[in-house]
Structure 1
């Protein structure tokens, strides 16, 4: 396909160069979406900020085929501020993803951020969930928050057999 063909497709799709962003579609609106967790990874930015990153593919509805990226910090302190609350949120979201996928949370999952990502890759990656996206505004800036629910009718154990787990591996 030539550049001209691509430009024609974009124009026919309704793109308005005066109004629309060149960076693609607007962000996915707040709401609840059936999703599949496509990938999970741990990243350290150049600034030193550490985060657990989730990539969710929306499965149905007006936003079907789009991807939502959710990132959660793993540092308790940043720029001299205690942000333990953020790590608590990261840990809760992680546990929900693991448990709702039919897996068990292991002590070894909490070794570091990379271990969290590896824990998600056991079973949660490829699993289906309901992703709830909420937005709030504080000091003129809009923030997105995320939560997970079990996907109704999803058979979490149908074709995924996780590792054998001994009670001594469980943190709770």
Structure 2
């Protein structure tokens, strides 16, 4: 395999990862929008505001991934990542589902980082930035799942 062919093969794998990221982020838009519609109770307004902000952020992340796909000469996917309707709409359930979804997104960004390290500074910096953002977001959701006064990290186990 020549150098140009190896590069094209590498780009295909990177484009594939970016498409999976884009699909996952688009699923996040749908998921967070759905969640925002299903919150009831005294604290509804600040919670739906936060959830809608997460939907907006997921859409921005999908746009970023799509721009990189076309930058590399690829075709952005029209698919959307998996959507699971658990019919559990307690805020704790929503946050636990969100934490699980964010964990999957984080892994995709880490996979991308492994693939592009030492290959493309642009893509490496993008992947690092997104890993940072996803880890910060996971931390925020984790804090939201803790009972008031608890400092220990939340764990479902």
Taking structure 2 as the reference length, the TM-score comes to 0.29
Taking structure 1 as the reference length, the TM-score comes to 0.27
* More helix as a share of residues: 2
Ranked by relative contact order (alpha carbons within 8 Å, sequence separation 6 or more), the top structure is: 2
* Higher Cα Rg, which structure: 1
